[in-house]
């Protein structure tokens, strides 16, 4: 498959990622201490969005194969009825791919390179790529919605993008 469109991956920051969701990471001083002062809690980093009837929040673990750069982005998906969070269970960087919604279809993608220890929560309805750890296979804590309703849309890109560093 020939790829003629290129996207340069940029560092994952809360400000740059804000249109698509939240960055989940423990930086700076903790919000407060718990467990008799033995644990600093970084509180309320992201709030799950759960839409529709009979919907609940669920926690899962996903084990993903790794990818390498350059990476061919040929599939985007979104979940219109709820946010979706992916937090690496080990300190591994990942490639994060998103796209704005343009008339119900994904627009021009944006790519981010996370630091080890960063996770993301995509807004409900945000177009995003698949899990893409960069340093070998990795496990991710997944926080998302379960319940009635169709909560997955996938789009295969007729013209893929090449994601580069």
Structural domain that includes position 26: 5-164
CA–chain centroid gap for 133, Å, is 11
24: CATH:
2.60.120.480
- Sign of the dihedral defined by the CA atoms of residues 19, 106, 143, 61, in that order: negative
Q: Per residue in 85-133, pLDDT tens?
A: 999 999 999 999 999 999 999 999 999 999 999 999 999 999 999 999 9
Task: Average the pLDDT over 32-46 and give the result.
Answer: 94
Q: Give the residues across from 39 on adjacent strands.
A: 34
Strands (E), 19-147: 21-24, 32-34, 39-41, 56-64, 71-78, 84-88, 95-99, 101-102, 105-106, 110-113, 119-122, 127-128, 138-146
- Work out the angle at residue 138's Cα, subtended by the Cα atoms of residues 15 and 109, and round it to the nearest 5 degrees: 40
The pLDDT, as a whole number, for residue 1 is 67
Statement: residue 48 has pLDDT above 90: yes
Report the domain count for the chain.
Answer: 1
């Amino acid at each position: 498959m020939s790829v003629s469109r290129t996207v340069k991956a940029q560092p994952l920051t809360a400000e740059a990622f804000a249109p698509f969701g939240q960055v989940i990471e423990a930086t700076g001083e903790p919000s407060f201490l718990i467990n008799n002062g033995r644990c600093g809690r970084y509180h309320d980093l992201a709030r799950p969005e759960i839409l529709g009837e009979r919907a609940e929040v669920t926690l899962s673990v996903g084990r993903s194969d790794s990818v390498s750069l350059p990476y061919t982005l040929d599939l985007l998906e979104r979940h219109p009825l709820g946010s979706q969070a992916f937090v690496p269970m080990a300190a591994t960087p990942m490639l994060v791919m998103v796209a704005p919604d343009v008339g119900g279809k994904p627009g021009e993608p944006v790519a981010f390179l996370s630091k080890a220890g960063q996770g993301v929560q995509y807004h409900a309805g945000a177009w995003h790529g698949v899990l893409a750890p960069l340093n070998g296979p990795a496990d991710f804590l997944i926080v998302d919605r379960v319940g009635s309703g169709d909560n997955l849309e996938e789009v295969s890109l007729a013209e893929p993008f090449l994601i580069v560093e």
